[in-house]
Every structure is written in C-alpha cells, then in structure tokens.
Chain A
C-alpha cells in the first residue's frame, strides 16, 4: 500500500477525465456515475495518454488507435489492445483524491471478452428525398458496403420513380408509374433500405444530429443526405393566381397535364427550354395547336449553342409549332396568354416551363453553406459544409475546388452520378469513374443528345449526314468540349473518347463526311495533352494521385511553371557573401546558379552556365573572385554576369573570330531577378515579380521577420543531404501537424510537445506558404515544467543534460517554435533557439537535395552560440527529428514506386476544406497546398 494525494475530487468530476502524476506514475482519473476510478494513463499498445481519449459506456478509447479499456477493471476490449491497463485503488479524503500507487492485480481470466451483441455498424444514414438521387444514394451506399441502417424519407406517397418519363411516355398516357418505378418494395427490402414515404422533414438539428418529421417523430442520424431536388419555378404575372396553369415536375403534374392536353384544342407553352419543347412536341403529337412563348430571342437560351438552337427551332417550326420569340408574358387568363406587346395567344391549356428552383430551405435553416443563386454547396464527393451532411442531385451545387466555379445540373444522369459518388463516399469507397455530363430529350419523333457542357467561347462545327446534323463545340485548343446530336448516335460515341483524351482536331476533319470519326482516335500521330493524361481524381483534394510525386513529365512542368515561374526562390544569405567578389553556388529548382556580391555591393544571381557552350563554369561551393572565367574557352564574365571578354573575338592573323554582327552585351549570363529581406536572398526567373513582402503576405511576414529581424546573421555552418523522395513531400511534412507527436516520439517522451501547448497551423490565403507553430505554455517556467514532464517515467527515460531543451526567449513572437514554408523551396526553422534555413533543390521527381544553413546572430555570446549548436541536435539528417522526417519521406516514396494508380488519402478535418485550421489533427494545409499547385500546374 502506497497512498498518495493527488487533486481535488471536484476537479475530476467537472472535467470527466484528468491526467495526474503521482509517485512518478502517470495516472488517469475518471469520473463515472459519481465515482472516481484510477487507471494507468499510458495506453498499453502505443504511447498515448488515455485522458486525451473519448469516454463512453464506462470505457475509455485511446486517442491514438482507438483501443478500448474498461475503466473499472482495466480490461482491454479487443484489438488493437490486448494487454490490460493497470488500475489503482482510490480513496476520497477531505475532498482530495488519494491513489494507491501499488496497482491492483488484473483479474486473471484475461481472455478478452468479445461483445457479440454489438451491431456490426451502429451508424444511421438518413436520406431526405426519395427521388432518383435519393434512392440511388441509398443503393450505392449499401452496395458498396455501408452496413448501418438506411432510412429514405420521401414526401410523395409512392415508391421512388424516375422523372424523364413524366414529360415523355407518362404524359402521353403510353406508360405508367410501374415502368417508371426504380426499385420495388421487395428490392428495397432486400437492400435493407427503409422507405418512409408521404412524410416531410421539417427541420434538421445539426448539433444533435437529428431531423424532425411532419408526423412529429424525430430521427437521429450519423450521416444525412439531402436529396430534396428542385421545384418548378412559378409564373407570377397578372392573372396567374386565378388561371389554372400547368407545370411538369412530378407525378401529380404529369397526370393532370396529360388529361388537360388531351382535352385542349389550343396549347400555349411559356418557356422555350427542353421541358417546354417536350410538352410542345407531345401536344403536337396529339394534334393540338401549339404556341411556344419565349422571352429570349431564340429557343434554348443558354442551353444550346446558337447554331444548334437554330436547328432545333427549324425542327419545331417544321413540326407545326408556332413560336413567339422575344416576348414576355404580360398576363394569363382563361382566354390564353397576353404577350408584352398586347397580343393575345389564345389557349385553353397553358403550360409553364420556365425552369426550376432548388429546394434548399431545409439546408438554409440548418445553416449549411448555400449558393447565392440557390442550391446547397458541396465538394466533389457531395459533402456540404457540415462533414456529416451530403447533398446530391438537382439541389446540389458543385463548387470546383480549384477554380471556385459553381454549377448545378438538373439531369437524370447527374442524379445518378452524384448519388453514386456520394453513396460510395458514405461507404468509405472512392468513385474514380470519369463521366461527361450527358442529357437527352425526345423531341418531334427524334432524340436530341447532349454530351459535355455548354459555355461561351466554343467554336461550333456542324457535321451533316445520317438522319440529322450533329454539332461539335471546340475549345480554344481545338478539342471537343460539347456535342449536340440530332440523329447520329455513332458520332456521339466517337466524340466521347475524343473528348476524354482531349484530342486536338481540325474543324475540317469533323465536317468531312468521309472521315470516320471513330477512326480518329486510332491515329498514332495524335498527341494527348498532359492535362488529359494526368487527371486529378474526381473525389477532389482529399486524394492525391501518386503521379504527382513520381512522374518525370509532371516534374518537368513543375520546373517550368513553379521554379522557373512566378515564385521567389531562396538562394542564400547575405552573411555568406559579405564582401565584394564573394560568391556561392546555389540552385533555383534543379538549375544551378551563382550568387555574387559585386563591387557596388549589389547582389547578383545568374545561371551557372556559360553563354557559349553551356559549361557549368563555377565549380567551387564558395569563394572570392574578380571575375568568372569559363575554363573551356576562357569566356569571362564580370560579377554582375555580363560578358566581359572572348578570346580571339576578332580572330587571329585576320582570320576567324566572331562575325561583325556579334554584340557581347547580348551574350551575358542569364540573370535572375533578385530581392532580399533582412539578410535572406531570393531569386526569380520571372522579371516582373511582386515584392518579397507582398509575395509572403502580412501573416507570413510576421513569422519570417521573427527570425530575419534585421539582427546581423552569423553563419554557423551547413548540412547537405539527399532525400529519396519527391521534393513536395518536404513542404507537406511541415504542413502536416498530425505527424508531429506520432512520428517524433522524442518530442512527447522528453516533454518538448506536451498536451496544453498552444499550437497552430497557419496557411497563407493562396495556400502556398505556411507556418506550423507552437508555444511553450509558460515561457518563464519552461525548465521546471520540462523537468516535471521528464520525471514522469520510471524506466529511465530522462535527459541527463536537459540544457538542450532550454528556451531562451529572444524573439518578437508568441511562438517558441515556428517551421515556415516559403513556397516553393525554403523552410525557415526556428526550433526554440536553433535557427536555420533549408533550401530544397529537386533533382528529379524521386529525389532532392537539401542544403541547411544553420545560423545565429553576430551579437550572440559564446554560450548562446553553444546553446544553438546544442539544440541543433534536434535537426538535420542526424537530428532527433530531422532523421525521422527524412526516413518517413523516403518510406513514402518507396511505397509509391513500382505500384500502379496509387493515391494518398488526405482527408483529416473535413470541416476545413483547405487552409488554416485550429486543430492539429488536420490535413487542411496540405489540401490548400495542392489547391494552389493544381492552379499553377493547370491540372
């Protein structure tokens, strides 16, 4: 028996779980049903504190690998934990918790109990809206392995049905609900999908994860899908309230419109889009007189390119449809439709088809992000701004993660595709299929098909032949973006693969009837552009394909667009070239450069490549010189990179030499733009770069200036090492706060990173630069606190010389550690008092070299210099932290080599799609980097 006092019992009851140190042991105190229980605080599986975990049903879940322990008995509840945790006797004396540090023996029948009664997957999936998108989401989730309950809530009292027949067979009375029904009750039953139909959802309580139903019930969810669709836009003009107007959006509409059409003699259709024309087509088939009224100057407004719309118009007219184009509706009445010019279109049946409005009220009321023009904003897998809620089908507005463009599609295909990718995401699977938007309509006895998306700026090419023409919309590069087909189904098939591969075509080829379009793709001569061969996964930024890290062509484009593009690249410190004539060798990306100080004190950066025969002329790492002379043919350059002299320029004995057109001033070394900030030197291949200050931005400059404050820098030396990984893995490593305590056991073991440390992962607005920062909780009491952390082990895990962990405050910053990425090639390291810059020099997709320059300040005394050197043990290729990062990055690259079509999962912290997050268990900063990278790379 060894009783020790710990903390007041009230503290345990208010906090639920508290970690304490008693008699050199880390002990967890839990408050359960009014009692206090004590267990060991370190998981028996891997190093983690149980008090950081989640407590439920008398068990604590380890935060690291989700191992469960029974708090009362210490029993491990199955994999990954197999060894029970120690438990300790507890006594409350005078409101204080006393703990007996001689642990109770674990009960001997240590066989882990299997809790068979637990359902395999306790999660509930709720889907609001039982149309095409809703039911297909349910089915996709189930078929891809989601094992929880699925409940589908629909407001129509029927089984889920598809909508295209509403304006086609069902309208004509040729087919019924049975043919349109997507899944029978028996099929839904077999898939264990519960359908609640004829019921409305009146509200969503996101905090409680619960929805309220119109029948007063409440249903809980773990994941919610909004498939609420869209409703017909209503006409609001004089008389629209009193006149019976027909719409076409659901079963009820189709039934009543069908009856009305059959009875009518004269039909007026307001709206010249697809729905309007389908109704006109149906009415003509029934032999009725039809007028289509359209406010725009032509049919199909922005749905079709002008020429294709023109053909459609001819088709309508040829089929006896009267058109009133460029006219709005002023009033409606029993007599018909009055146009804006006062004329009357007589009609005994008025149909309105002027578009649809997304049903986003539920989402708005719940506070989800919605688009300005209506609809719920979602990411590529259909996730809304709440990670537990998705939206699919007509109501979902997809916002492109890179361009920010928003689009909402109303089509049968879109309902199915969004349902599939969201259903798969819910089941934990990734949808990698690539589909082009596709739409069809039955009009005037034929079928119109549309593949791709209409936008301004497409060049339209018409191809005749077959039953009717087909129109191709070509983009600026000459590849097909849109096909509108009126009767050549083979052409649309051929176009599909041409579109997916981005084949560049001449318009003449497409119009030539003798050219077989399906053969174009077989042509060996075609060149498929990079953008089409390297397509980012449709699932968005949460997955990074391996080719980003392993492909030579991608690397070549990085050199062109990033390192040689609009970036400031770190090349050295002013302290390395203090005097005129001083120079160092350096790199911008893979390109060798020389950094020199000229006679005027200016800093010059030029390519280390002779203008004559490309020889890398400067071979020393550093030095001092009056001029640079290429050893091959003795061409000489001054300290600014100007060509100074050429041997035998005028030949010898009147023969040879350069021609009269030779101008030496045009053959200097390729000079880069140069900028400095308080001693750091940057270079850029771009000639019109913004200032370094603007490039970094206000937030990043603050952390940068903490190190580069203007204090004179003293270089302490360099480390150079190769790293067998893609160069981007390094900035990623410093945008990945998740790894810090998991990979770097040292930090946790020796108390450098302790729970309660303030920390942040800050990303600049563009997503390229970042600072990973943390602060000692109390800078003044650092060493005491460290010592107490270090004493916490009984097995000798203490530092004999803890001076390495001392932090001497010297910076104008709230942080004691900042690791800053300055895109693309610089890391500024401030790990307490050890300072350094790391320059990333990629040599290819699979390897880079890194040059570390460790430094202090000129005003450091000897002890401070020693302290920096001592703390340097953390960093570099032999550092406690540096070694592990290098190894981990190599392991990542090894894992990618020699596998096919692999991808990384970067999904932590979905609440922040990309950017600064306030939790360290986040990969939002990595996603932000790739958002920027994809913009720069055009991928």
Chain B
C-alpha cells in the first residue's frame, strides 16, 4: 500500500544534491529531537502537529513490513485520526503509569523528490520504565521510514512515518506512538 522506495522518485530530481541531503538530515535530526521530547513529556495531544493534514502514520512489525502486509498496531490515515488517538489515549485509556524515552538515530536521507519531499530512514529505540518494574526495559527497536514536507516557514512536517519494529513481541501494551 505504501511503497518506501523513495530513491526512484527522486532520481534525476534537481533538488537531490549531496549538500541538500546533508542540510535535510540536520533539519530532520532537529525535528526528531522535538518529536521525541513531545512524546517523552507525555504531551500526546501535541503529537499530531508534527504531521501534515493528510499525514499517514503506522507502526508495524518487521514481519508484516517485509512481506508487504499493511496492518498496523496504530494506523492513522490523517492528522484528524491522530488527534482522535491522542484524545482517546489521553482522556479515556486505562494503562499503568510509565516513563517512555524515545531515541532516533542513524538518520539517512535517501532522496529528495522534485516537489521537495524528503525521504529518510532512521533507527529508533523506545525504552519503557514501569513503576512496578522500575529497572526499565527495551520496549522496541526498529526503523522509521519517513517522508517530510518542507514548510514555507522553513520547518518540516511529516507526510508519512512508518515505524517498523524488529522486536516482534510487544511486551504487554504499547501505549504511546513511536
């Protein structure tokens, strides 16, 4: 359903230069630092603002992604659906208290398309600390497949983020997005 092969679209794009990629990587790293801070602070209702209005967000296991199976633990087709999730999770969901910490690293810009869309991949890890087992554990490790839309104010918004986790077995529950 979502092809991640961004390279093809950007082949020959005049915007796709070595310099532009380096600049884009820096912008993405700044973007992700803010993104993680929002989630780590539990400000879930601000999370949808990192996406364009038609933004797509999915968290799926590597076993699905590798075989082209579209299912997602979280499957949002629009910023409106992300707002719904943020509202539902923060206002109605019951789950044990926890600290979550997101790390996004190894960012690679894999292409810049003719319309300016930046394609990138990163690794991520998510650490979870539960109050009853406060030593914490690795909750997820995986990759992010991203498409960013540069904004007129110089910032970026996500058109699409697909989090693909290698840690196939989710421990009990995944309460916040990655």
A residues at B contact (CB < 8 Å): 621, 715-724, 743, 745-746, 749-750, 796-797, 799-801, 804, 849, 854, 865-866, 869-870, 872-873, 876-880, 882-884, 886-888, 890-891, 894
Contacts and interface: CB of A to CB of B under 8 A. Distances in A.
B170 A800 contact: no
Interface in B56-101: 59-61, 63-64, 69-78, 80-81, 83-85, 87-89, 91-96
Contact of B92 (A723, A880, A891): A880
A800 B173 CA distance: 25
Contacts, number: 121
Contact of B94 (A745, A849, A872): A745
Given A621-B63, A716-B70, A884 B169 contact: no
21 contacts: A716-B70, A718-B63, A720-B170, A721-B172, A746-B93, A750-B88, A797-B87, A799-B84, A800-B84, A801-B78, A801-B80, A804-B81, A854-B71, A869-B75, A877-B174, A878-B59, A880-B88, A883-B95, A884-B93, A887-B95, A887-B172
B70 A717 contact: yes
Contacts of B173: 721, 877-878, 882-883, 886-887
A715 to B, nearest CB: 7
Interface in B31-75: 59-61, 63-64, 69-75
B42 to A, nearest CB: 16
A850 to B, nearest CB: 10
Contacts of A724: 172
B175 A722 contact: no
B26 interface: no
A869 B84 contact: no
Contact of A723 (B80, B95, B172): B172
Contacts of B64: 717-718
Nearest to A855: B71
B93 A719 contact: no
B172 A720 contact: no
B12 to A, nearest CB: 30
B19 interface: no
Of the listed residues B76, B81, B170, the one surrounded by the most CB atoms of chain A closer than 10 A to its CB is B170
Given A750-B88, A887-B94, A870 B77 contact: yes
Contacts of B77: 801, 866, 870
Contacts of B127: none
B132 interface: yes
A718 B73 CA distance: 9
Nearest to A852: B71
Contact of A880 (B59, B76, B93): B93
B174 A878 contact: yes
Given A878-B174, A890-B96, A891-B96, A721 B71 contact: no
B85 A873 contact: yes
A890 B172 contact: yes
B167 to A, nearest CB: 10
A837 to B, nearest CB: 13
Contacts of A880: 88-89, 92-93
Contacts of A800: 80-81, 83-84
B168 interface: yes
Contacts of B89: 880
A745 B70 contact: no
B175 A883 contact: yes
Contacts of A883: 93, 95, 173-175
A159 B84 CA distance: 70
A849 B172 CA distance: 9
Nearest to B91: A797
Of the listed residues B76, B83, B95, the one surrounded by the most CB atoms of chain A closer than 10 A to its CB is B95
Nearest to B174: A878
B58 to A, nearest CB: 9
Contacts of B20: none
Given A800-B83, A887-B94, A890-B96, A720 B71 contact: no
Contacts of A865: 70
A869 B94 CA distance: 23
A720 B169 contact: yes
Contacts of B114: none
Contacts of B81: 800-801, 804, 870, 873
Contacts of A716: 69-71
A719 B170 contact: yes
A869 B96 contact: no
B4 interface: no
Nearest to A854: B71
B140 to A, nearest CB: 11
A621 B85 CA distance: 31
Contacts of B59: 878
A722 B170 CA distance: 6
B171 to A, nearest CB: 5
Contact of A717 (B60, B80, B93, B96): B60
A711 to B, nearest CB: 18
A724 B88 CA distance: 24
A888 B94 contact: yes
Interface string B119-157: 000000000000010000000000000000000000000
A22 to B, nearest CB: 24
Contact of A869 (B70, B169, B170, B172): B70
A880 B94 CA distance: 9
A869 B88 contact: no
A749 B93 CA distance: 11
B1 to A, nearest CB: 8
A621 B91 CA distance: 37
A165 to B, nearest CB: 60
Contacts of A886: 172-173
Contacts of B75: 869-870, 872-873
B92 A718 contact: no
A870 to B, nearest CB: 6
A133 to B, nearest CB: 46
Contacts of A870: 75, 77, 81
A879 to B, nearest CB: 8
A878 B60 contact: no
B93 A721 contact: no
A804 B132 CA distance: 34
A922 B37 CA distance: 45
A710 to B, nearest CB: 23
Nearest 8 A/B pairs, CB to CB: A717-B71, A717-B69, A717-B64, A800-B80, A721-B170, A878-B73, A801-B80, A878-B174
Nearest to B65: A717
Of the listed residues A722, A743, A800, A888, the one surrounded by the most CB atoms of chain B closer than 10 A to its CB is A800
Given A716-B69, A801-B81, A878-B174, A749 B92 contact: yes
Contacts of A890: 96, 172
Contacts of A723: 172
A804 B76 CA distance: 10
A716 B72 CA distance: 9
B61 to A, nearest CB: 7
Of the listed residues A745, A878, A894, the one surrounded by the most CB atoms of chain B closer than 10 A to its CB is A878
B72 to A, nearest CB: 7
A800 B175 CA distance: 20
Nearest to A719: B73
A718 B64 CA distance: 7
B171 A722 contact: yes
A724 to B, nearest CB: 6
A178 B3 CA distance: 95
A883 B174 CA distance: 7
A872 B61 CA distance: 15
Given A800-B80, A869-B72, A880-B88, A721 B169 contact: yes
Contacts of A719: 61, 71, 73, 170
Contacts of A804: 81, 84
Contacts of A718: 61, 63-64, 69, 71
Contacts of B63: 621, 717-718
A894 B172 CA distance: 13
Contacts of B95: 883-884, 887
Of the listed residues A621, A717, A723, the one surrounded by the most CB atoms of chain B closer than 10 A to its CB is A717
